[in-house]
Amino acid sequence: MSFSVSDQLKVTLFDVKKIQYKSRVIFDYVQSCCTVAYIKKGEVTTTFEGKEYVAKQGDVMIHRPHKPFNVISKTDGIHYLFNIDLKVMEEVDFFSMYPLGKVVKIRDPILYEKKFDELRSIWLQETNEYRTVQSSFLAFSLLHEVIESSKFGGKRSPNEEYITDRFNNVLHYIEKRLGENITRDELAQIYHMNPVYFSRAFKEIYGLTPMKMVKKLRLLHAKRLLETTDYTMEVIAQKCGFCDSPHFTHAFRSAFKISPSEFRKSIKNTKRGFIPTLLDK
């Protein structure tokens, strides 16, 4: 049995590029082709059909044609991406017939990056008479890696732990302002929600009200400062948003059943206990 590839599969490669950015925010973006974006560096929240996914270093995001999506990153990042239109029987989108996950963890990032560099090199050779054929073959090779990675369990679905929490931005907001006064209304405003409804929805996800979460994050930060710094109790109380040292001590003891000073002493004793063992080696 024989067949003509042109009758079965039509491929058009539009662009191959590397993107570096400080932060990235794209809302409701729609394109006429598919984008396969590999994350060389960074972490991205991508939203598709009402579901959120986290794509990390070594992952590929697949943005499908004619489907709006969001991309949000608050950190530095580098993406390797190519735009491709892939049709079966010249009219059916390949990714609708052979659906892959929105985010796929690549099984061999080093191999994928090497293949992408080959593709990028060929793509830039505009005077190369074989450029179209070679770049198409290399793009297929990258798609093969994505498909194989998905088969090997790299597909990330919205039912897995990689999904972002609905109020993930609130947690980041709190962590950056632990030493400041934070109110429920202020947190609700981030999502333009009624404070009562926001508090109820937040608790359904985390099991804590927003303000109890603020307190929890403050105490965890205080614990880290006790373990890693020599700050006084007054300084730690200030950095973690407690009005003074006695309030901080009371809250810490209530949460961990030990005072901050006792906790710090136990940490120092534990560290000293390890020293002879390490020196004996």
pLDDT reported for residue 250: 94
23-62 residue pLDDT tens: 777 777 788 888 899 999 988 888 777 677 888 899 999 8
Please give the mean pLDDT across all residues of the chain.
81
pLDDT reported for residue 165: 52
Q: Residues 210, 198: contact at Cβ < 8 Å? A: yes
Lowest mean pLDDT among 85-94, 118-127, 162-171, 245-254: 162-171
By C-alpha distance, which of 84, 100, 64 is closest to 10? 84
Q: Are residues 210 and 84 in the same domain?
A: no
Q: Which long-range contacts (CB under 8 A, 24 or more apart) does 237-245 make?
A: 238/179, 239/178, 239/179, 240/178, 240/179, 241/178, 241/179, 241/180, 241/181, 241/182, 241/214, 242/218
Residues 6+ apart with CB under 8 A from 234: 244, 245
Its domain, for residue 228, covers 178-280
Q: Answer yes or no: is pLDDT of 145 > 70.
A: yes
Q: Answer yes or no: is pLDDT of 242 > 60.
A: yes
Categorize the per-residue pLDDT at 277 as very low, low, confident or very high, splitting at 50, 70 and 90: very low
By C-alpha distance, which of 27, 41, 42 is closest to 75? 42
How are beta strands 59-63 and 9-21 bridged, if at all? unpaired
Q: Answer yes or no: is pLDDT of 241 > 50.
A: yes
DSSP 8-32: HEEEEEEEEEEEEES-EEEEEE--S
How far is residue 163 CA from its own chain's centroid?
9
* Mean pLDDT, residues 182-205: 86
Q: Answer yes or no: is pLDDT of 95 > 50.
A: yes
Residue 244 lies in a domain: yes
pLDDT reported for residue 271: 52
Residue 169 lies in a domain: no
Lowest mean pLDDT among 117-126, 166-175, 237-246, 256-265: 166-175
Q: Is 198 helix (H, G, I), strand (E, B) or coil?
A: helix
Categorize the per-residue pLDDT at 281 as very low, low, confident or very high, splitting at 50, 70 and 90: very low
Q: Are residues 13 and 122 in the same domain?
A: yes
Q: Give the total number of structural domains in the chain.
A: 2
By C-alpha distance, which of 229, 233, 219, 240 is closest to 262? 233
* Mean pLDDT, residues 197-218: 86
159's tokens: 């039912």
* Mean pLDDT, residues 85-108: 77
Largest Cα–Cα separation, the chain: 83
pLDDT reported for residue 102: 84
Q: What is the CATH number of the domain that holds 244?
A: 1.10.10.60
Where does residue 116 rank: exposed (0-12), middle (13-18), buried (19+ CB within 10 A)? buried
Q: Answer yes or no: is pLDDT of 162 > 60.
A: no
Q: Is 53 helix (H, G, I), strand (E, B) or coil?
A: strand
* Mean pLDDT, residues 91-97: 70
Tell me the percentage of the chain whose pLDDT exceeds 70: 83
pLDDT reported for residue 270: 59
Q: Is 134 helix (H, G, I), strand (E, B) or coil?
A: helix
Q: What is the CATH number of the domain that holds 130?
A: 2.60.120.280
Q: Are residues 152 and 17 in the same domain?
A: yes
Residue 197 lies in a domain: yes
**50 torsion bin: left (phi>0), alpha (psi -120 to 50), beta (else):** left
Q: Are residues 128 and 198 in the same domain?
A: no
Q: Are residues 41 and 124 in the same domain?
A: yes
Where does residue 201 rank: exposed (0-12), middle (13-18), buried (19+ CB within 10 A)? middle
Q: Are residues 138 and 185 in the same domain?
A: no
Strand partners, 84: 13, 34
Categorize the per-residue pLDDT at 89 as very low, low, confident or very high, splitting at 50, 70 and 90: low
Categorize the per-residue pLDDT at 152 as very low, low, confident or very high, splitting at 50, 70 and 90: low
pLDDT reported for residue 29: 78
